[in-house]
Amino acid sequence: MRLYSWNVNGFRAAVKKGFWDWFGSCGGDVVCLQETKVSPEQLSQSQREVQGYRDIWSSATVKQGYSGVAVFSATEPLSVQLELPRERFQGEGRLILLEYEQFYLANVYFPNGKMSQERLDYKMAYYDAFLEYAEELRRNKPVVVCGDFNTAHTEIDLKNPKNNEKTSGFLPMEGEWLDKFISHGYVDAFRMFNTEPGHYTWWTYRFNARARNAGWRIDYFFVSEELRDRVTSAWHEDTVHGSDHCPIGLDLDAR
């Protein structure tokens, strides 16, 4: 089963930059998108429906053109849940949970903490609430988590770690939460196959950063430990443009 995750930084903008060409050639069974910045009501059926796929959207209700996640799934999920169960974390369109026969798949756009201390506090609280939710799900079946975590885990996950030690996205508390997440039995799939520096998933549009590969790895696939042996490949498609992020992929033996 081939899974993809991509922060498209605006679905309609990505469509104008060749999204559907990429989609048609990627071979994904499930394609998860973050930061769609649109609700399905703003799109015609022809703009969002793909033959052979079910489209599912979770859009922000607190602000139009903000946040949002979507999934295109060739396999009909057993169930769909939008947003975390706690009311505090609803309304920003940050999570779609799909249940399949062998596992749960959580497509998540975690909050960005750069704007203010209030948003950083919200981000850290969201992290903890998500881990609690994932652990509850895991009592029933394994969990796959994908999306934009808005945090580079270690120094090899961004080009300039020393210059960003006091920047949200690489604060000690954020890296420590990822440590905690991993300690609960969630495996960073990309690092199963590649432990080298210089592999990023996001580049600022400024300073010619992408051409210089001055980026951050903040998009991930994690699998709960029970699925580790079923992961056959994980990769970044960093030559694919259309957003300031690139698509990331995971091949999973879901038999």
**Which residue type does 122 have?**
Y
**Which residue has tokens 């969630």?**
186
Residue of 148, 157, 188, 219 marked catalytic: 148
Which two structure tokens, joined as six digits, stand for 179? 């440590």
80 exposed, middle or buried (CB, 10 Å; 0-12, 13-18, 19+)?
middle
| 148 tagged catalytic | yes
Q: Which residues are catalytic?
A: 148
